[in-house]
Amino acid sequence: MDKFDLIVLGGGPAGYLAAERAGHAGLKTAVVEKRALGGVCLNEGCVPSKTFLNSAKIYEHALHGKAYGVTAENVKIDQNVVVDRKNKVVKQLVGGVGMQMKANHVTVLNGNGKICGKCEEGFKIEVDGTAYACDKLIIATGSTAFVPPIKGAKESLESGFALTNREILDLREIPEKLVVIGGGVIGLEMASYFNSVGSKVTVVEMLNKIAGPTDSEISNFLLKEYQKKGVDFKLGCAVTEIADGKVVYTENGESKSVEADKVLIAIGRRAFTQDIGLETIGVYTERGNIVTDENLRTNVAGVYATGDVNGKIMLAHTAYRESEVAVNHILGKKDKMRYHAIPSVIYTTPEVGAVGETEDSAKEKGLDFRVANISMRFSGRFVAENEGGDGICKLIIDNKYDRLIGVHLIGSYASEIIYGAAMMIESEYRIKDLKELVFPHPTVCEIIREALFQ
């Protein structure tokens, strides 16, 4: 039986980054992946969806270039080319992950991995029937799309009428009518794409707001922007059935329906912990998520859980950092995970970037805070590049310590700006110190400086 210092179960962002860091540090490391390296993020999530959204952005620029002095004729979008390019990008990046594994002397074990208890050599892991042993184990099995117990959902998925985030990224025909069940990040990004390329999109959301925990002012702004573009939102509505070319839902106790050519089920994701052998070593879970501490340790000594499988913040960049913390702990380096300044992005048009407390969460926690709120039109570059457009830069400032505790943006480049706001929150700079920072001009990011002086 081959023995490793560390085996990583799962080859997504949490898994391959953990393996890369451990291998680079000299640990004899193996990563187990049953499908393709890169996991959901690289193969059927973050990256492929961004190739779709970039194509939509270029298409919209071509359609509406007249305001900028650019006229294009017979503008079309070829969904086959969009999907082919997506596949090319994914193949290139998956290959890059494989090269990183090789460069850091990580053994890649392709197959279905399962924990099979302990043995004299340590933890026993089987990959398609072949046994391996390891001193330390990182569980990074990720998450799967949650399919709710809606009548007809299973049958609709089997027939291809309904899709999850995986199947919709291989869709080579643009549906005339698309119904999206769920107004969270995945649902909104796909609603954004298909609305841009010509589908009549309806979003059915059980809550009375879209974009989940996003600051209410920002999510309301996004809602209005997409209503202007023709997306129909059914908020506070519960889907009861998917069948016969339609989605049935209840609104204020009344049963209604909307026609669909395709349905995207995007209600959320849940940790993948089933049938991986957690019970053989007694790993503790809570509501399906593996419970971890600030070092990503489970209740079992020598076993860690990073990424979506612990259910804390299901974002690839959170998984990266968690895996670094776990590997550092294995190596005896002092480190711990902090979650208060994790940035998040919704890659719609306009983009949404957020980090830290929202106005609602600050109120719920009883914090003493103030809000600085400014239009994106205070940025010269934003005005130059967004004819007739607007956006918001919103700061949540702690009055007790006079420092930033939340930043929320909606507008162009929000995805590229928000990391700087995360650094400001993480570093706990005072507002007077932040006011001394020099931002490049003209940029959209200097809107944060403008807001600091409000």
Q: Tell me the catalytic residues.
A: 441
First to last CA, the chain: 65
Q: Is 5 helix (H, G, I), strand (E, B) or coil?
A: strand
Q: Residues 6 or more apart from 398 whose CB is under 8 A from it? A: 367, 368, 369, 404, 405
Residue 405 is given by DSSP the state E
Got the DSSP string for 61-85?
A: HHHTGGGGT---SS----HHHHHHH
φ, ψ of residue 358 to 5 degrees: the values are -90, 170
What is the CA angle 272-275-278, rounded to 5?
A: 85
Say if CB 30 and CB 123 are below 8 A apart.
no
| Distance separating alpha carbons of residues 66 and 215, to the nearest angstrom | 34
Say if CB 238 and CB 206 are below 8 A apart.
yes
Q: H or E stretch including 425?
A: helix 414-427
Residue 106 is given by DSSP the state P
| Distance separating alpha carbons of residues 279 and 286, to the nearest angstrom | 13
Residue 92, CB half-sphere, CA atoms under 13 Å: how many?
9
φ, ψ of residue 125 to 5 degrees: the values are -120, 130
User: Computed from CA positions of residues 189, 272, 316, 32, in that sequence, does the dihedral angle turn out positive or negative?
Assistant: negative
Length of the chain: 454
Residue 256 is given by DSSP the state E
Count of beta carbons in the 10 Å neighbourhood of residue 35: 13
Q: Residues 6 or more apart from 248 whose CB is under 8 A from it? A: 239, 240, 241, 242, 255, 256, 257
| Distance separating alpha carbons of residues 396 and 406, to the nearest angstrom | 5
Residue 186, CB half-sphere, CA atoms under 13 Å: how many?
27
